[in-house]
Amino acid sequence: MDELDTALLRMLQNDARRTNRDMAAELGIAPSTCLERIRGLRDRGVISGYHAAVDLQAIDRSTQAIISIKLRPQAMAVATAFQDYVQSLPQTLEMFMVSGASDFLAHVAVKDTQALRDLVLHLAKRQEIGDIRSSVVFEHHRRTTVMPLS
């Protein structure tokens, strides 16, 4: 990754709908060069996709939480099946397999605290759950631009 790749990556992360021509003009390069560099970033797996950011409050999912889950038994087959299940739930935004006191952290978004309670109780019924705890997220800030570290 050189300075041009880094600049294109920053531009696309800030607004993936920018036109090739617009980015090329801002960087002072030919549109064909810009297009080829972006294709190279995709081909190398640096850019893995494009998406639309959704305001959770606008879709009536303003209550977010992190659910901490400990499994029993701690077997990879159990963990994989459980992870697949939780990721399939519409409430799940992100799922993390972690070390430490928990095996998984699930970031969820629901309508309200009653819906969160219902989700936690639903998960707690599963036999592979050893412990489950939830923490309501009061504020959530996501970094929208991620650049290579020097």
pLDDT in the model for residue 67:
98
Indicate the pTM of the whole model. Answer: 0.85
Mean pLDDT of 33-37: 97
Confidence (pLDDT) at 51: 87
Q: How far is CA 27 from the centre of its chain?
A: 29
Answer yes or no: is pLDDT of 115 > 80.
Answer: yes
CATH number assigned to the domain covering 3-43: 1.10.10.10
- Write the pLDDT tens digit of every residue in 58-81: 999 999 999 999 999 889 999 999
Q: What are the contacts of 72-79 at 24+ separation with CB within 8 A?
A: 72/128, 72/129, 72/130, 73/128, 74/103, 78/128, 79/103, 79/104
H/E stretch holding 42 reads helix 31-43
Average model confidence (pLDDT) for the chain? Answer: 95
* Domain at 56-137, CATH from 3.30.70.920, 3.40.630.40, 3.30.365.10, 1.10.220.10: 3.30.70.920
Listed by start position, the domains of the chain span 3-43, 56-137
For the cut 90, the answer to whether the pLDDT of residue 143 exceeds it is: no
